[in-house]
Structures are given as structure tokens and as C-alpha cells.
Amino acid sequence: MRVLIIASGGGHTGYGVAVAQHLHRKVDEITAVIPKNDEWSRELIKPYVDRVIEVPKPRLPGEGLYRVFTGLPRAVLESIWKIGKYDVVVATGSNHSLAPAVVAKLRGARLVAIESHDRFLSKGKTVSLLEKLGAIVAIHWGVQKDLYPNGIVGEPIVRKPKYSPMDKGYILVVGGFMGHKRLFDTFLELEYRNVVMQTGRIDPEKYRKPGWRVFRFDKDLDWWIAHASVVVGHNSTTILEAAVAYRKSIVIVPNPEWKDSASPAEAEILAYILGGRYVYELTPGTLAHAIEKARRYKNPPAFRFRSGAEILAEKILEMERR
């Protein structure tokens, strides 16, 4: 069996890595498709695949819709050139998944599309389109059956933990690839002395304080997650993995700059499912209150979930046996 996994950057790459971990050495070949020049995605997925190829991402977060029309033709051409014949293709969402998935399907692959873990009221554009093209949609929660009645899995699709969880007392603030400026600025007004902050594309220099460790990216962010007391960030895959894989108390603060992501209402639903705190009206007071409540909550319901990645990998293997 030959499998193509489209790891489309950021949290989408997290889904792809999670599935690859459970298919590794169980199929004949796994190829990963990542966005051009995305070294973070390459480093995460390359231990579990046979080769990695790059296809450009038509539109980055925050860019205008016109970028899809200018970038998509290039993505299609490179997909036609680089992608051969596979038995199954796993698309992880984002507009980057579209061209490689369609090309692979036209060449005979069965198509699986993973919806985002924070979609409860509306479908992601790419996954919705791939569903119309015949994709089997993998979901993280039973409640997402309202969007996808034929969805499979129903457990969170997260990577295997690299470390045993431990509480070293610091608050971990994660901004993902784009960063979360409002959250970072609000943190500056708090009196916490033991903070680790990952800023992404936002310059970290402004946020350096005594006792704080601040950086743009760390290839081993899992270490910081595993040893945090509380993890704070937007409704990202990192927050999902912190709660489910590392059993951390979380605080979710939606990022208003992410216009195409799940709505604040959906972020609140995610916080409820994971047993985390939710902050919409962001002020120093509301943030500090949420963090302290999270610190005292030692048994959130996220602890009970099974590995959706393992379930999805088994269903992919079953496709070969049919």
C-alpha cells in the first residue's frame, strides 16, 4: 500500500504526523507533501515517511483571497509534476491540501480528509470541497457528526507524546506560526515571573522579562508542553495536544487576526470539551483569572480520550484489505 500524507503546515502538519506515526512500517511507502520551504513541517514528519516533497501553498493566513487565484495554478502544476500514483491520500485541510489531493485522486487514490478539531458550526472550506469530490471525512469529536453524518473516527487526532508529563511550574504561552500579539501584549501586564513564550512570526524582543524564556520557534516544543503547569494559546492543534496527549490544563484565547479560522463560539465549544478555560474578552484580569482556575483544575475531561490517529490509521489499513 502506498500512502500520500499532505501535511499542510501548522496544526495541519500535526494531524499528518499523527497518522504517519501509526502507519510507519505498516505500509509499503509513505510520501509526505509539505508547503514550500516549510522546514518545521519537514523536521516533524520526516522520521515517519519515506520521502518528502514540496508544493507551494496558494494562500497564507492573513493574505487576501486573490492569492488563491494567483497561487493555485502553480500548486496544480507542481502537483501534476511531483505526485504519482497512490492507494490512499490523506489531506489535512488548508488550501495547500487541495491541489495535491485532487491530483492524487484523479490518479486513482482513495481520498481521506481530516477536518479541523475546532470546527463545530461550519465546515472548513477545503475539507467541504474535498467531501464533495468523494473524500471520507475524519472527525475528532462525535458532535462533529452534525456537520458530517458519515464522518469516521470521532476521537482527537493527535501525535504520540514524546515525554512523560511533569509540572515544572511555568506557564507556557503558544502563538503558533503567526503569533498572537494581543495575547502577548496582555501577558506583559501580568506579574508572572515564570513564563515560557513562543511567538512565531512576531519579534520576541519586546516580550523579554526577568524569569521569562521567549523564542520564535523550538523544534522540540513538546518538551515545553510536557513540563508546563498551564498552556495558554488560541484554539490550535498545540492546545489540543497539550490537553489530550500531555494532560495539561489549558486556557484558550481566540486570535481575532485569524479571520478564516473557527469562530469564537467554536473555540468556546472546544474549551468546554477539553475542560479548559476560555477567554474571549481579553484583559489582564480575565486572563489571570482563567490561568489560576486552570492551575487548580487537575482532572480535565481531555484525559479520557482515545487516540483518533490510531483509529484512523487502522481504517486506512482496512482499505487495503477490502
pLDDT digits (tens, 9 = 90+) for 243-267: 999 999 999 999 887 766 778 899 9
Same domain, 89 and 8: yes
Residue whose cell numbers read 484489505: 321
Same domain, 117 and 208: no
- Has residue 314 been placed in a domain? yes
Which tens digit of pLDDT belongs to each residue from 68-85?
667 788 899 999 999 999
- Band of pLDDT at residue 299, cut at 50, 70 and 90: low
User: The CATH number of the domain where 56 resides is what?
Assistant: 3.40.50.2000
Same domain, 59 and 181: no
- Has residue 164 been placed in a domain? no
Angstrom distances, CA of residue 62 to CA of 169, 191, 227: 34, 32, 32
- pLDDT higher than 80, residue 60: no
Mean pLDDT taken over the chain = 92
Same domain, 92 and 142: yes
Q: pTM for the complete prediction?
A: 0.92
Same domain, 146 and 290: no
Given a contact cutoff of 8 angstroms between Cβ atoms, the answer to whether 62 and 178 are in contact is yes
Judge residue 166's burial from the number of C-beta atoms within 10 Å of its C-beta, 0-12 exposed, 13-18 middle, 19 or more buried.
exposed
Given a contact cutoff of 8 angstroms between Cβ atoms, the answer to whether 136 and 112 are in contact is yes
- Has residue 199 been placed in a domain? yes
Same domain, 299 and 312: no
- Has residue 163 been placed in a domain? no
Rounded to the nearest 10 degrees, what angle do helices 264-274 and 237-244 cross at?
10
- Neighbour count for residue 285 (Cβ, 10 Å): 12
Same domain, 130 and 206: no
- Has residue 165 been placed in a domain? no
- Has residue 21 been placed in a domain? yes
Structural domain harbouring 231: 171-304
Three-class secondary structure of residue 171 per DSSP: strand
- Neighbour count for residue 43 (Cβ, 10 Å): 13
- Has residue 166 been placed in a domain? no
User: What residues have CB less than 8 Å from 318, skipping those under 6 apart?
Assistant: none
- Has residue 225 been placed in a domain? yes
Number of separate domains in the chain? 2
Same domain, 10 and 106: yes
- Neighbour count for residue 312 (Cβ, 10 Å): 25
User: What residues have CB less than 8 Å from 171, skipping those under 6 apart?
Assistant: 192, 194, 195, 196, 228, 229, 230, 231, 232, 291
